[in-house]
Amino acid sequence: MGFDKHLCVDASGFAGGIWVLWREADFSITELDRDSQFLHFSCIAQNSTSVLLTAVYAKPNDHDRLPLWAAIRRLEQNISQPWLLAGDFNSITCPSERKGGAKFNPQRTANFNACIRDCGLIDVGINGPKFTWSNGKLSQRLDRALCNQEWIRTFPDTLSDHLPKLRSDHRPILVKSNNDHAPPRQELQVHLTRWNKEIFGNIFYRKAKLTKRLARLEVQNENSASAFSLRKESLVREELEQTLWQEELLWLQKARTNQILNGDINTRYFHTVALTRRSKNRITKLQVADGTWVDDPDQLRGIAREFYVKLFSDDCTGQQLIPACFNVVPEAMTSHLADAPSMEETRRIINEMGGMKAPGKDGFHAAFFQKSWNNVGADFYDHLVACFRNPDRIRMCNDTLLVLLPKVDFPKLITQFRPIGLCNVSYKVVAKCLANRLKEFTPQLIDQNQSSFVPKRHITDNIIILQEVVHTLSLRSGTKGSMILKIDLAKAYDRINWKFLEATLIATGLPMDFVKLLMACVTTARFQVMWNGGFTESFQPSRGLRQGCPLSPYLFTLCIERLNHCIKDSINRKAWKPIFLSKDGPPLTHLFFADDLVLFAEANQKQGEEILACLNRFCEASGEQVNKDKSCVFFSKNTRGQLKKSISDTLGMQPTNNLGRYLGVPVVHGRVTKDTYKYILEKVDQRLAGWKARSLSLAGRVTLAISVLNALPNYVMQTSVLPISLCDAIDRKVRAFVWGADEGHYKAHLVKWETICKPKEEGGLGLRSARAVNIAYLMKLGWAFLNKSNGLWIRVMQGKYFKMNATGDMVMKKSSYSRLWKGIVDTWPIVKERIVWDIRGGQNVQFWTHPWIVEGLKLRDHVKSGEEDINWQATVADMTNNAGTDPPVAESGEDITAWGMEPDGKFKLRSAYYAATDWIGDADDRTSAESTKPSWKRLWRWDGPNRIKHFLWLAFHDRLMTNVERKRRKLTNDDTCTACNEGPESAEHILRLCPNSRQVWQMLGIHNNLLTCGLGFTEWMEVHLGKDQEGLLFGVTAWYLWKRRNERIFHNLNQENHVLAHRITCWTRTIRNAQMNDKAANVQLHIKSSQPLAWSPPPMEWISVHIDGSVKQPNSTAAAGGLIRDWTGRCIGAFVENLGICTITRAEIKGAIRGLQVAWKEGFRKVLLYLDSTTAINILTAPDQRDHRYFNLVQQFRELVQQNWEVKISHTYRECNKATDYLANKGHLVSIGFHDFRIDDPGLSFWILYDTMGIAQNRLI
C-alpha cells in the first residue's frame, strides 16, 4: 500500500482492531494513549502545526461503550490543540440518522450525545449518502468525524466524504481538511482585499502583533514600571481593545446569529458559529437524477444554475379561470397607496431593519445606511422617490442573490435546498414600504380561515383548530365519517404564475398604480445563485416569488386566497360538504397558513373527487403543483377501511393514522407522554451545545439561554400542555448551561433557580421556569375566551366546550375533552382571581362578589358574618336602581373586564408568568426587602459591560466563589484570605476590606470616607455604582480585583497595586471609547449618558400644569398633586387630592383630569400638561379603545381637551417634577377628595425656588 509506518490495536478474535498507517516522509506521528476501542496520537505534517487525532472503533454493546465515552472525556480535559476523532462509533445521535428497524430508543443515544456535549465536540458534516452502515433492513450513520473548536478554527473547510461500500457493510469515510471550491474573486473583492492589507490593515495580523507587544510591555512593567512605559502600555492596550471589537464585529457578520451577546468580547463564540455554519452550508457533492454522484465544482455550479433557471421559468400553457370574490375596499381608503413615502417614513423603515442581516449583491448592510444617513440619506431618498414615480427604475436595484439553505440535515439532491433571496437594501426599502401599505388591507381581503401575515391573526389559531378537529375525529361515531387532507405544495413560492398574480391584485380592487409598483418589484428581478461563496451567471425569472423579499408573503397570501374562493364556490354549489365539531360550532372546510394547507370534508367518494377537482383548477390557474408523495389524508375513527382505500386512491395520497407535526407542533392523536415532545429536548441540546457554554461568559450564556427558550419550547407551549417532567427536564438543561456545567463536568450553581427566574429588577436574571411559562400561555387562551374574541378558534372551542356557571367558573364535564381545554380550565382560577371590572352599564358585574370598586377589592370580604339575607348575585345595576340612582358610569354599555396585574388592564404574558409561579409555588416572596431593594435597578442601569454586570450581580447576592463560600459548601476548611492572611476571604473582604484592595481604591481616587463608614457591603456598592462620574470606574475596579484574586490562586500571578490601578484606568477609558461604536448588535446602540435635567418655564402666554401620582403601601392608598405656573415661573395655584385605594396609573390619570378642570375654571386657554408617567401618557394619547380598562376616565379627559382651548400633553422626568412629587405625598395626609393647597407652604416654596433657580440633577437617558 506504500505506507512504511503503522500503529495498531489488535483485534480480539473477529472483533475490534484499529490500524493507523502513514508514510514517514510525510508525517511524524507519536502515540499518546490507547484502549481496545481507540488509538490516540499526535500528528505533525511537514511545515504544519501539530494536531491530535483519535481513531475510534466502538463496541456494539451500549454498556461496553461506556468506558470509551469516559476515556474521550478524560482526553478532552488536557487538550487545547486541534483535535479530530473519526471512526466507527457504533452509535447514532438522533432518529434521523437511522432508517428501518425497531422503534427508536432515545436512551441508547443518550450517553453518546452526553459525551459530545460534555467535550464540546462538533460534527464536521458529510458529503454523500447519509447512512454509513446497512444490513438490508436497517440503515444507520454509525461512522463519523468529530472535532473540537480549535480544529474547526484551524481547518474550517473540514468535511467527511462517505465513499461507496465495497467489501464491507460499512462505507469508508474520507476526512478532508482543504477546500477545492474557492470562489471566483470579484472585482470589488480584489479592491477591498488590497485596501484591507495596505490601508486598513489585516485585523488578525494586527491583533497578533499587538498581543505580543502588550505581553512584552506587561512583563517589563511588572519588573520596573516607569511613567513612560505605563503610558506606552496604555496606548497599546487601547489599540488592541479596538482591534478586538473589530474582530468581534467581523465574526458577528459572518455568524449571522440573532443572539445579541453585547458587553463582552464574544469573538470565540461568533467565530465558531460562523465556521460551523459555513461548513454546514458548503456543497461539495450532489446526487443527480440517474443516481450518480457529482463532485466536480464546475459541474455542481452548472447543476445548480440549470435547476433554478428551470424552476423560475414559466411553463404554463393556458390560464384556467377561477372565481375571485374579494371584499371591496373603498377607493377613498386606497388612494394614497402609490404615493412616494416621506423622508421620515423612509428613515423609519431603514431603522427597523436588522443592521447586520445578510446584505444583497451590492454588499451594503442596513447598518451602513443607519449610521451614514446624514451623508447618504438625501441621495437614497431621491432614488426611492424615482422608483415610485417610474416603477421600471426598480430594476436598477433589483439584483438578487439566491443563497441555498439545506432543508434536511444531510442534503444530497439539489431539490433539498431552499432558495432564499438576498436583496439589496435599496430595493428592500421600496418593498417594505409597499408591504406596510398592503398589510393594512389584508384583514378585509383575507378570509378568517387564513392566518398568515394578517394583523391580529396568529399561527397558533390554526394549530389549535386542527388539534381540536383531530381530537373530535378520533372519538367520532355514527355512519358519516370525516377526513383531513394535509396538502404539500411543491416549491410553492417559486411556482406562482405572474399573470395569475397580476389578475389577483387587480381583482382586489387596489389602485392600478399600486398594482404596477407591486408587479415591478416581482418582474424586474435578476437572480444569481450563490455557490460555495461564489456566484453563477445571472438569469431572468419568469415566474415565482422570492423568499426573502418583504413583499412575497403578502402577495403569496393573496394568491392562496383564490383557493379559498374556489372552495367557497364549491360550498355554494353544495358540492363540498364541510365538517362540524359540534352542534353550535362553525362549519370547517380548510385552514391556510402560507403554503401549509389543511382541508376538511365528509369522507365519501364524491367529496374526494370534488376536492381533487378544486385543487386541479387552482393549480392550473396559479402554476402551483400538489406534491402527492408528501400529502396525506387522515380519516375519522368511524370511516370504513374500504372507503378509506377508495378515497385515497382517488386522491392519489397515502392514508395516515398520524399527521405528524403541523406548523412545527406535534398533532396529538392519543395519550401525551414525554416522548411526544422529546424533539424539544433534542433541539435544546443542539442549541445549548457544550462548545457554546465554553465560548461564552455567564452574561452570554444567560442571553443565549433566554433566546433558546423563546424560540423553541415557548412556541409549542402556546398551544399545548407539556408534561411536567418535560418542563423540569428543560429547566435542568438550561440551569446547567447557565452555570457552564454538563453531565461530565459539575459546576456549582451559585444562585438558586427560583431567584434566577425572577425579573432583573427583583434580583433575578430574567430566565423563566418552563412549567410556569406553559401555564401563562394557557391563561392567555382563557383570557381570550373571557373577552369574547371573534377568532375562528374561539368559536370552534366555544361550540365544543364553553360553559360558565354563575360564579364565573368554566365548567368541564367530561374526561374525554381535549388536553388543551382541560389545561385552560385548570388554569382558569388563576385568571379569575386577577380580573377587575370597569363599570359601564353595571348589568354584568355582581355587586358583592366581583372586584369593581378598587383593584382586587370585593365587598363580600368586608361584610360582617351573619348577614344571611343578602342577595349575593345582585348586579351593580340592580343595587343602584334599587337605591334610585344611576350607575356610576360615564356612559351605558357592556361592562369591561381588565387584567388586574397591569396598569392598562391589558393581559400581558409577563405578569401572567408571575401569577403562575405564585400558583405552582416556584416563586420566592417578591415583596421581601431583599427582592425589592433599589440595588437591582441601579445595577442593571450601570453602563458597563454585561460580563461585569453579572459579576456584580453575584457580588450583590454574596455568591462569589470566595473561600468563605467554598467553606460554606464544604469544599475547604480554610477560609482565610491568601493575599493578606488577615481575615476570612468574603466578597466584601476581597473588594473592600483587604489592605491591597484599599490601596487600589485610593490610587484610583475613590474616596475613602465611605470605605470606613457604617454602610453595609451591598449599600456601599450601590452608592458607588450610582455615581455619574465614578460608577463605571468602580465596577471595573471591582472586576479587576476579583480577576487578580483568581490569577493569584489559579496561575500563581500577582499584579502590583500601581500596575493594576493603571490597567483599570486604561480599560475604563477603552470601554467608554467602545461604547461610542457599534458593538455586537444589529443596529447602532443607544448608549445612555448622564445629562443634567432641570425644570423650565412654559413659553410666553402659556401655563404649565405639572401632575404626579403617589401610592403608599401596604394599603395601596393613592393621592395626586398638581402645580400650575406661568411663563415667568410664578406659582398660580396648587392642589392635592386623596383618591383612596387605586393604582398609580389611575391616580396619574385622575390627577391629569383634575389639573385640566382647575386650569379651565381659572380661565387659562393655553395649557402644557406634564406627567412623569409614560404609561399614563400612552393611555391618554392612544387611539380610541372602548374596551380599555380606563375608558371612562380617558373619555372624560378627552372631553376636557376638546373644549375651546389649546392643550398639549408631554412627558417630564421626575428630576423636573420634584415640587409636584411633594404635593402628591401631601395628598395622603388630607381627607378623601379634592383640596386646594397653600402656595406659601414652606416645603412647596423650597421646591418652587429650587426649580426657579434652574438647579439641575443628572440622570442617565
Task: Express each pLDDT in 486-497 by its tens digit.
Answer: 999 999 999 999
- Tell whether 572 and 451 lie within a shared domain: yes
Task: List helix spans (H) across 787-818.
Answer: 792-800
> Has residue 1011 got a pLDDT over 70?
no
- Tell whether 658 and 702 lie within a shared domain: no
- Coil/strand/helix, residue 761: helix
Average pLDDT score over residue span 1177-1191 = 80
Which residue in 681, 673, 636 sits closest to 656, CA to CA?
Answer: 636
Instruction: Classify residue 17 as left (phi > 0), alpha (psi -120 to 50) or beta.
Output: left
- Tell whether 654 and 702 lie within a shared domain: no
> Has residue 921 got a pLDDT over 50?
yes
What tens digit of pLDDT does each residue of 740-788 get? 876 556 678 999 999 999 998 889 999 999 999 999 999 999 998 887 6
Cα(426)–Cα(144) distance, integer angstroms = 44
> Has residue 846 got a pLDDT over 60?
yes
Please say whether the beta carbons of 247 and 267 come within 8 A. yes
Please say whether the beta carbons of 418 and 405 come within 8 A. yes
- Tell whether 87 and 61 lie within a shared domain: yes
Strands 50-57 and 83-88: parallel
Residue 786, domain member (yes or no): no
> Has residue 831 got a pLDDT over 60?
yes
Provide CB contacts within 8 A for 573, sequence distance 6+.
none
Please say whether the beta carbons of 781 and 824 come within 8 A. yes
State residue 1084's pLDDT score.
42
Residue 410, domain member (yes or no): yes
> Has residue 256 got a pLDDT over 60?
no
What residues are paired with 28 via a beta bridge?
44
For 500, list phi and psi in degrees, rounded to 5.
-65, -40
Average pLDDT score over residue span 571-588 = 93
Residue 1125's H or E segment, with its range, is strand 1117-1126
- Tell whether 571 and 439 lie within a shared domain: yes
The one-letter amino acid code at 383 reads H
Q: What percent of the chain has pLDDT over 70?
A: 86
State residue 807's pLDDT score.
56
- Tell whether 493 and 619 lie within a shared domain: yes
Residue 946, domain member (yes or no): no
- Coil/strand/helix, residue 315: coil
Which residue in 375, 494, 382 sits closest to 429, CA to CA?
Answer: 382
Model pTM? 0.80
Average pLDDT score over residue span 208-236 = 72
State residue 1212's pLDDT score.
93
What tens digit of pLDDT does each residue of 374-427 get? 899 999 999 999 999 999 999 999 999 999 988 887 788 999 899 999 999 999
Place of cell 435542568: 732
State residue 885's pLDDT score.
44
- Cα angle value 974/975/981 (rounded, 5°): 95
More confident residue, 792 or 705: 792
Residue 367's H or E segment, with its range, is helix 366-371
What tens digit of pLDDT does each residue of 276-320 get? 666 666 777 888 888 888 888 889 889 999 999 999 998 776 567
- Tell whether 343 and 428 lie within a shared domain: yes
Q: What percent of the chain has pLDDT over 90?
A: 47
Cα(442)–Cα(446) distance, integer angstroms = 6
Write down which residue in 728, 750, 772 finishes a domain.
750
- Tell whether 631 and 503 lie within a shared domain: yes
Average pLDDT score over residue span 1005-1013 = 61
Strands 399-406 and 526-531: parallel
Strands 632-635 and 654-656: parallel
625 to each of 333, 387, 496, 597, 1069, how far by Cα in Å? Answer: 36, 34, 10, 13, 62
> Has residue 1056 got a pLDDT over 60?
yes
Task: Pick the range with the lowest mean pLDDT from 513-517, 726-730, 779-783, 851-855.
Answer: 851-855
- Coil/strand/helix, residue 1164: coil
Q: Give the count of domains, the chain.
A: 6
Residue 104, domain member (yes or no): yes
Q: Please say whether the dihedral angle defined by the alpha carbons of residues 340, 343, 346 and 348, taken in this order, is positive or negative.
A: negative
Average pLDDT score over residue span 677-684 = 85
State residue 157's pLDDT score.
79
Cα(288)–Cα(294) distance, integer angstroms = 7
Residue 429's H or E segment, with its range, is helix 425-439
Q: Please say whether the dihedral angle defined by the alpha carbons of residues 1234, 1235, 1236 and 1239, taken in this order, is positive or negative.
A: negative
> Has residue 223 got a pLDDT over 70?
no
- On average, the pLDDT of the chain sits at 85
What tens digit of pLDDT does each residue of 425-473 get? 999 999 999 999 999 999 999 999 998 889 888 999 999 999 999 999 9
Q: How many CB atoms lie within 10 A of CB 1243?
A: 12
HSE-up of residue 810 (Cα within 13 Å, Cβ side): 25
> Has residue 716 got a pLDDT over 80?
yes
State residue 287's pLDDT score.
86
- Tell whether 682 and 540 lie within a shared domain: no
Grid coordinates of 969: 459548601
Provide CB contacts within 8 A for 507, sequence distance 6+.
324, 326
Please say whether the beta carbons of 907 and 789 come within 8 A. no
The helix-helix angle for 552-572 and 605-622 (nearest 10°) equals 140
Residue 980 sits in which domain range?
960-1055
Residue 766, domain member (yes or no): no
Among 25-29, 266-270, 509-513, 1008-1012, the range with the most confident prediction by mean pLDDT is 509-513
Residue 1163, domain member (yes or no): yes
Task: Pick the range with the lowest mean pLDDT from 181-185, 763-767, 799-803, 1087-1091.
Answer: 181-185
Which residue in 239, 284, 240, 278 sits closest to 257, CA to CA?
Answer: 278
Grid coordinates of 1161: 375654571
Write down which residue in 1031, 1055, 1079 finishes a domain.
1055
> Has residue 656 got a pLDDT over 90?
yes
Please say whether the beta carbons of 1055 and 1064 come within 8 A. no
> Has residue 197 got a pLDDT over 90?
no
Provide CB contacts within 8 A for 342, sequence distance 6+.
none
Q: How many CB atoms lie within 10 A of CB 55?
A: 21
What tens digit of pLDDT does each residue of 885-899 get? 444 544 556 777 888
Q: Please say whether the dihedral angle defined by the alpha carbons of residues 1052, 1056, 1062 and 1068, taken in this order, is positive or negative.
A: positive
Cα(378)–Cα(381) distance, integer angstroms = 5
> Has residue 1086 got a pLDDT over 80?
no
Grid coordinates of 888: 356610576
Grid coordinates of 414: 439539489
Average pLDDT score over residue span 846-869 = 70
Burial class (CB in 10 A: 0-12, 13-18, 19+), 1203: exposed
Cα(501)–Cα(556) distance, integer angstroms = 8
More confident residue, 288 or 840: 288
Residue 1011, domain member (yes or no): yes
The helix-helix angle for 227-255 and 1057-1074 (nearest 10°) equals 40
> Which CATH number do you get for residue 1138?
3.30.420.10
Cα(953)–Cα(878) distance, integer angstroms = 55
Which residue in 943, 580, 960, 968 sits closest to 795, CA to CA?
Answer: 580
State residue 790's pLDDT score.
77
For 1006, list phi and psi in degrees, rounded to 5.
-75, 115
Write down which residue in 750, 774, 802 finishes a domain.
750
Task: Pick the range with the lowest mean pLDDT from 335-344, 626-635, 711-720, 849-858.
Answer: 849-858
Q: What are the strands, taking DSSP E only, across 901-996?
A: none
What tens digit of pLDDT does each residue of 1200-1258 get? 999 999 999 999 998 898 999 999 999 999 999 999 999 889 999 999 998 888 888 77
Grid coordinates of 835: 380580573
- Tell whether 592 and 462 lie within a shared domain: yes
Task: List helix spans (H) across 688-769.
Answer: 690-695, 698-711, 713-717, 724-738, 753-756
What tens digit of pLDDT does each residue of 153-185 get? 888 878 888 888 877 889 899 998 764 444 444
What tens digit of pLDDT does each residue of 236-249 get? 777 776 776 666 65
- Tell whether 643 and 678 lie within a shared domain: no
State residue 1075's pLDDT score.
63
What residues are paired with 27 via a beta bridge?
45
- Tell whether 1129 and 1205 lie within a shared domain: yes
State residue 540's pLDDT score.
94
More confident residue, 542 or 883: 542
What tens digit of pLDDT does each residue of 976-996 get? 999 999 889 999 999 999 999
Cα(309)–Cα(91) distance, integer angstroms = 41
Residue 781, domain member (yes or no): no
